[in-house]
A and B are shown apart, each in its own frame.
Chain A
Amino acid sequence: MMRGPSWSLTFLPYEILFDIFLRLDVQSICYLRLVSKFMNWLTQNPTFIKAHHLRSKPVLIIQTHGVTFDPKRKIKDDPFFFYDFTTETKTHFKGHPLTCFHNIRVATSLHGLLLLEESFPSTHFRHYILNPATNEIKQLPPIELGFFDDTTHLCALGYHSGTGEYKVMCLVSRWFELENRRHIVCEVFTIGKDIQWRTARNRPPHSYCDGPRRYPPVLGNDSLHYVAHSSSQRYEQWRRKQPRAASPNYFDGFILSLDVNAEWFQKTPHPHCESGIYSLVQKEGRLCFANHLLSGGITHSLELWTLTDFTNKKRPIWTREKNVGLLWIESPSVYPLSRFVNELIPVGFVEGGMILWWPEERRLFMFNLETGGFRWIPVQEELIPPGFLFDQVFYPTHANMVPHLHVNTLVRIPPWSGPLNLH
């Protein structure tokens, strides 16, 4: 092999270069992009970005305070930070534009992109899409909220694998003149395509949603799913007749799915749930249904089902995956156990386990599905917020500040001519 003295890294075959670059973290790749045009081109390649995404290790996003920065008093707080649960280290987000935000919460984390929701006291919301790894940020056009009511508000980021489109859905309450009443409608914004919000083709069949306030929508099988009631009045009437619910999670709802491509709402039948307590979580791109199996008012195990086939929306095919026994757990961090097992919510699945969230105590746990190992993820002191406005006034339940699973990726926000481009 003949070569001159200038022979360097860039002369290696693509497959080796790819292999080298895939081992780097996002920060190093961002630096690498500044080295030369070739490096820039190679690392901007969608195939590379996707491969890098699949290789990245998930971390947790822990939301701490709603208030980020008060310019007058010079208070600076992180609205969220990243927590690596394998090494138990935390990383702070260093993006500076965030510091001038008001009350901010992370609504969804998807492919390394965050949907941020900034709220101003009882007036309006602003939404942002942020890639915290590359510091790319864009503001979505303002949305008319109508009457402000936190029980009717909800937003989430969805992705359709067929079209490759990212869409933001946002439930708002609107007054309908002809019917002389208010309805919840869903506004949709396709990132990179739309200039304004559009209204989805049909309305969700409820006027009150306690479910999404407890559990954020879950993306799976190219649809966004959440749990909802049919109506507050009817629900309250029904509830009064019922014997006392076994747990605060007790919930007579149904799964409502929004097809991300068709923008169509529908109720999705789910496996039989004797107790009425269940929660939704994503597992490998599919919707997972965690059914609380009760005996004597105590959840003794979680029954996990995944939505394996969702082509027929009326008759989805659920597959039973596993029964996870909970009652044998012995740990001082889950005392009292009976409360813990009834209130826990699965947050997500990672390699080698399931992450559980105890909203009332704001604690996180890792449950190994193979060995049954159970451990507390010790970020507790960070999770207890001081008495601040955001959580208590706007969001009566702490559950809105659920930790999210997140991967740092190079995924770019599809460009569009929005009203304000922060970058």
Chain B
Amino acid sequence: MSSTKIFLKSSDDKTFEIDETAARASETLKNIIDGGCLDGVIPLPNVSSNILPKVIEYCKKHGGDNGSSKKIANGGVDKDKEILPDYDEEEDKREKVRVDELKKWEEEYMDFDQQVLYDLMLAANYLHIKGLLDLTVEKAASMIRGRTPDQIRENFNINSDFTPEEEEEMILIEDEWDDEWAFD
């Protein structure tokens, strides 16, 4: 069974091509495909043309992740898709290699600036791609984790809207806990 091609249209009217198996990584697209509402091009008004290729790249890599699409992908043309071997041991080994490769690929894939990160999060949320959302959200979380308020403000370009008095009060509370307890 060869996989059919699906066309996606970005918000700025550019069309992109994707395999059906890859598109199934997205819950939203899967529903559209399974629902039979497919007629040629699927418009995605919330995703712009500079983000969509990135999403498609992710889908291609992860399209065969869940069991059902794995079977569909068996005879597929995509060389990324894994063909189930006969031996369990070999499968184990290949699975390991595949996971390692994926990790490496993810590292390279996730190397982009904040603007793209926001857009990807929004796109992943809109298209319901759980893996991609996890990946991006985790990256955002790691940018906040262990940072001081000033660092977070700087990182994310947020202006403090506390009045100076409020700020002073909050910092006082913080300092109270930061100082060593004085006994003298």
Contact = CB atoms under 8 A, between A and B. Distances in A.
Interface in B144-175: 144-149, 152-153, 156-162, 167, 170-171, 173-174
B144 A16 contact: no
A190 to B, nearest CB: 26
Task: Assign chain B's interface to a size class.
Answer: 35 or more
Contacts of A9: 118, 140, 156, 158
Given A9-B158, A24-B144, A16 B152 contact: no
A235 B179 CA distance: 53
Residue from A7, A34, A96 with most neighbouring chain B CB atoms (10 Å): A34
A8 B149 contact: no
B133 interface: yes
B39 interface: no
A71 B118 contact: no
A12 B122 contact: yes
A99 B138 contact: no
A23 B141 contact: yes
Interface string B53-71: 0000000000000000000
Given A31-B152, A35-B152, A96 B177 contact: yes
Given A19-B137, A24-B141, A96-B181, A36 B118 contact: no
A97 B181 contact: yes
A423 B177 CA distance: 10
A397 interface: no
Interface in B48-95: 48
Contacts of B141: 20-21, 23-24
Contacts of B111: none
Given A7-B118, A35-B149, A36-B161, A28 B177 contact: no
A16 B137 contact: yes
Contact of B149 (A12, A31, A135): A31
Contacts of B177: 94-96, 135
Nearest to A38: B161
B2 interface: no
Given A34-B149, A99-B181, A16 B159 contact: no
B11 interface: yes
A211 to B, nearest CB: 37
B112 interface: no
B48 to A, nearest CB: 6
B45 to A, nearest CB: 9
A6 B159 CA distance: 10
Contact of A32 (B144, B161, B171, B174): B144
14 contacts: A9-B156, A11-B118, A12-B118, A13-B125, A19-B137, A20-B141, A21-B141, A24-B144, A32-B152, A36-B160, A38-B161, A96-B179, A96-B181, A100-B183
Interface of A: 1, 6-13, 15-16, 19-21, 23-25, 27-28, 31-32, 34-39, 71, 74, 94-97, 99-100, 135, 423
Interface of B: 11, 46, 48, 115, 118-119, 121-122, 125, 133, 137-138, 140-141, 144-149, 152-153, 156-162, 167, 170-171, 173-174, 177, 179-181, 183
Query: What are the 10 closest A-B residue pairs judged by CB atoms, nearest first?
Result: A96-B181, A34-B149, A23-B141, A9-B156, A8-B157, A20-B140, A71-B183, A19-B137, A35-B149, A37-B161
